[in-house]
Each structure stands twice: as C-alpha cells, then as structure tokens.
Structure 1
Amino acid sequence: MQPIFTTKITKFKSNDSFECDDILVREIKLDINVNGAKAGSMMATPTDVEALGIGYLLSENIIKSYSDIEHIDFNEAELALNITARIDEGSLNILTTENVIISGCGRSVTASVNPANMKAKVIQNDIKFKRSEISKQMGEFYTQCDLYEKTGCVHTAKLMIGDKFYIGEDIAQHNTIDKAIGKAVMDGANLRDGILMVSGRLSSEMVVKAVTNSIAVLVSRTAPTSLGVLIARRFNLTLCGFVRGENLNVYSGAERVYA
C-alpha cells in the first residue's frame, strides 16, 4: 500500500485560481492482533508497519525483546498486523483494560503513562553527547525524511545509534518512535547506545517510550510537558528541548551533554 496518494485541488495564489494535483499522506486504522486476539487499533501511516508493531509491543512491555516475535504479517486487505509472539500476558491485560487516551495525534492508547506502573528501571548509562553534535543532527533533522518532503503532513523520529539512523514517519508522533525503535531492534542495534530525536512536543508518552526502551537521551526542537519532565527526572532520562541553532534547554540529565 502506497503511503501517499494524489488528488485534484483548487489552489488560490495571489489573484489567480487553478486546479492542480496535490500529494497527501495516507491515513489508515491499523488493527494489531497478538496471538489471535485483538490487542488494539491505531490511526497510522502505512509504512514500516511491522516495525511499528514491534516497537509498540516493546514500549508496552508486552514483549521483552525482538527475539520474542515468532511471526509477523501485515494483511493489507484487512489493514491488520498479525503477530505471534511470546508475551507478558499481564502487560497485555493492562493495556486492554486500563489504557489511557494519550495526547498524541489520533485516538491511541497506552498502559505505560503512569510512572507507578512502569516496569522500566532508572536509566544507568554514562553515554554522553557533545552539544554541537546534538545541534548538528537536529539541524539536519528532515534531510532524510521522504514522506515529510513530499507531503509536509507527518511527524518524524530519528534514532541515531553510532553512525546509523533509524527513521520513523507517521501522522501520529508516538507511532514514529515505535517505528524507529522497531527498525533498530530488527537490525540488531543496541538501544542503550542511541539518541532519540523527535519533531514534536515531549509529552509523557514520548518520554515513557524512551525510558521503557532504555534510551538515555531524548531531544526535540519543541517543548516538554510538565509530566514529561517529571518522568524524565524520576527515571534519569536526559531530556532536551528547543534545540535550535546553537541553543538548547536541558530539563533532566544534563550530565550526558557536554560542551
């Protein structure tokens, strides 16, 4: 399934009007089925669907590692991702019975927003990133983002591990993180060595996804929420916002950023 489609529009420009083709991003309702049972649905862009499912299950503690996945298949006709895996039944039950409507785009749920319910431990990681490198990477943020270049209508996450980038693009920001994480673990990368960069706000669910997956540094061009900062501080996550030019704000874990 193509992630974009073309439609005719009427464009007004100065005193003129004319018909032309416009490229739009495709939006679908994706069902995620785990071991034959529906685990949830999300509004998504139909790219990297398998990576999205894997990242989502990791972020919700339903699986512990990529090796828990036994089979995964995207049924395009039914818009369903079917996964067979060794799972944590308790985490799956929490997701389906105690989920929270999150602040991301679309109507999505998570069971991991409440810090009291998070299974991730405090991040113990001495990794450091130079301030100028963080600024450089954020300055080049959109240079590898094909869907954004074509449509201007998606969020983006870039997970940098060593000299490799894992990119997630989607209409929903939380999906971009799951896609980037899913692609990284499918490639055998160590998430603890990474820095996660996102295009939008640093709300609680974005912070939780980083913490749950032991990613020590989360960066954005925009602001965090108060709960996002509190969770980052509780779990020793380095949280950087307003990374623009040579400037950035560090809200938590400043010891991992050096001049």
Structure 2
Amino acid sequence: MKIEEIDAIQYKDNQAQNVKENVVQDETVTLTINGNISRSLSAIEDSLKEFAIGYLFNENMVKSLNDIKNIEIDGPQIRVEIDDTLLKTNETVLCSDSAGGWRSKIKEVNPVESDFQVHVSELIDRIEELKDNAEIWQATGGTHVAGIVYDGQFVVKEDVSRHVAVDKVIGYGILNGFDLNHSYVIYSGRMPADMVIKMTRAGVPILASNAAPANSGYNIAKKGNITLVGFLRGNRCNVYNNQNRVIFD
C-alpha cells in the first residue's frame, strides 16, 4: 500500500500531543505521447497502464485499443505511441482536465446511446462498498476512489487525483473487455464538465457520486445523454437527466 508515516502535532479537546500520521505516497507521473506531447501530474504510482489507456480514451485521443501502438512504463514515466493521424485531426486532444483548460477544448459532445439500467438499491449498496474498498483513503483520508461496475464485476482504484482514479477504472474496463455501454462509474467527487465529458468519450451511460453535479456537468450530461446520480449517501440520491436508466424499487 502506498502509505508513509510522518510526524504531526494533533490538537483535540484543548490538548496538543505528538502523533504519527499516515499520508498517501504520490509521485510526479509523466505521460509522454508520441515523443512530443507530455503531461505531468501528481498520482499514485500504480495501475499506470490502466491510467494511460483510460486517459487516451477519455481525452479523445484514441477510439480503440488498435489505435495504441505501444505502451512503456519505467517507474513514474509512461511513454505511449498512438496513431499519429489522430493527433493531427483531433480538436479535443489537449486535455479536458481542469488544469488543461478543458472549457476551450471541448469542441463536440457525442450522445451515448444505451438501454442500460440499474436499480437504485444497487447504487446505494455500491457507494458503501466503494468506501469499504478504499483502503488508502481509510488509512490517510488523502485519496479519491472510483469504481467501475460491469456484469456483476466491481473494480475499485484510488488516486490523489479524481481524474486519474476515473481514468484508471475506465482503462481497466477497456483492457479487460468490459462493455462500457452497459457499465457505470461510481466515484467520490463532484461532477463538473471535465468529469462528465470522460463518460461521453468512453461511452459510459451513468456516472454516480456521493457529491453534487455542477451546472457545467449537467449541461454536458444533457448533450451527451449521460445519467448523473448525485448525493448518493445513506438511503438517498438525486437522479439527473435520462432518469429512465435508474429503476426505483
């Protein structure tokens, strides 16, 4: 587990004491694409192949695994080779995450057509299961956690970045033959446009979270036919857009 113990002073109930605290170990991970496009970000150094694949799909750089020619991972360095013609023709290549200036990069939103449905009771159970499987978060409180659900399979990844956590689970699904059109992503974090656009690009019809959607995320969900499930806490949730995908017991 990527955890380090550090010294701290804890103040509680009008008393201060020396304690040991756990923190997550993050690294500067660099993804280099075709030798000339580079992205550096803080992330946990695991599941980097899944992250790279998820990133390429979620940033609209590739459409299939056949578009990825090679992936090499050397510690925190990831080098990928993809079909160069995609880079020359793709207007959304420059990164949809908030640090990359996504608002000016989202040129088009392709609607996700899917008849997939999920029971609300399953979503309520999964958000609890998500927390139970967030081992690093439980030990440190320093990560986001994301899961992908397909045909009874539930895979969970953690990272200091909510974007990277989601990229990792989508990349896992692609690598392992998940039908993303009949899957859903559930994670800890808000749902602004930079997160919802990942669903449209990967073809995932439902994004669920314990947090709230932003107006920008709702607008992308409307354009991309994505169902958002927010405030998934305890025995409650709100469902936004194409509510027919959620079955209420």
TM-score, normalised to structure 1's length? 0.86
Tell me the equivalent position of 1:9: 8
**Distance (whole Å) between structure 1 residues aligned to residue 153 and residue 73 of structure 2:** 26
Over residues 122-173 of structure 1, what are the superposed CA-to-partner deviations in whole Å (9 max), with x where a residue is unaligned? Answer: 1111111111111111232211122112211101111111111222211111
Measured after TM superposition, the shift of residue 226 of structure 1 is: 0.5
Measured after TM superposition, the shift of residue 41 of structure 1 is: 1.9
Mapping for residues 93-132 of structure 1, pairs under 5 Å:
94-96=92-94, 102=98, 108-109=99-100, 111=102, 115=106, 117-118=107-108, 121-132=110-121
Tell me the equivalent position of 2:200: 211
**Distance (whole Å) between structure 1 residues aligned to residue 41 and residue 199 of structure 2:** 20
Measured after TM superposition, the shift of residue 185 of structure 1 is: 1.1
Structure 1 residues 44, 188: closer, same or farther in 2, change over 3 A?
Answer: same
**Distance (whole Å) between structure 1 residues aligned to residue 89 and residue 56 of structure 2:** 10
Mapping for residues 51-200 of structure 1, pairs under 5 Å:
51-76=50-75, 79-87=76-84, 88-90=86-88, 94-96=92-94, 102=98, 108-109=99-100, 111=102, 115=106, 117-118=107-108, 121-200=110-189
Tell me the equivalent position of 1:38: 37
State the secondary structure of the residue aligned to 2:112.
coil
Measured after TM superposition, the shift of residue 110 of structure 1 is: 5.9
Structure 1: give runs of 5+ residues left out of the alignment: 103-107
TM-score, normalised to structure 2's length? 0.90
Tell me the equivalent position of 2:227: 238
**Distance (whole Å) between structure 1 residues aligned to residue 97 and residue 229 of structure 2:** 25
State the secondary structure of the residue aligned to 1:57.
helix
Structure 1 residues 114, 251: closer, same or farther in 2, change over 3 A?
Answer: farther
Tell me the equivalent position of 2:243: 254
More off after superposition, 156-165 vs 38-47: 38-47
State the secondary structure of the residue aligned to 2:166.
helix
More off after superposition, 161-170 vs 61-70: 61-70
Cα RMSD after superposing both structures:
2.2
**Distance (whole Å) between structure 1 residues aligned to residue 11 and residue 169 of structure 2:** 37
Structure 2: give runs of 5+ residues left out of the alignment: none
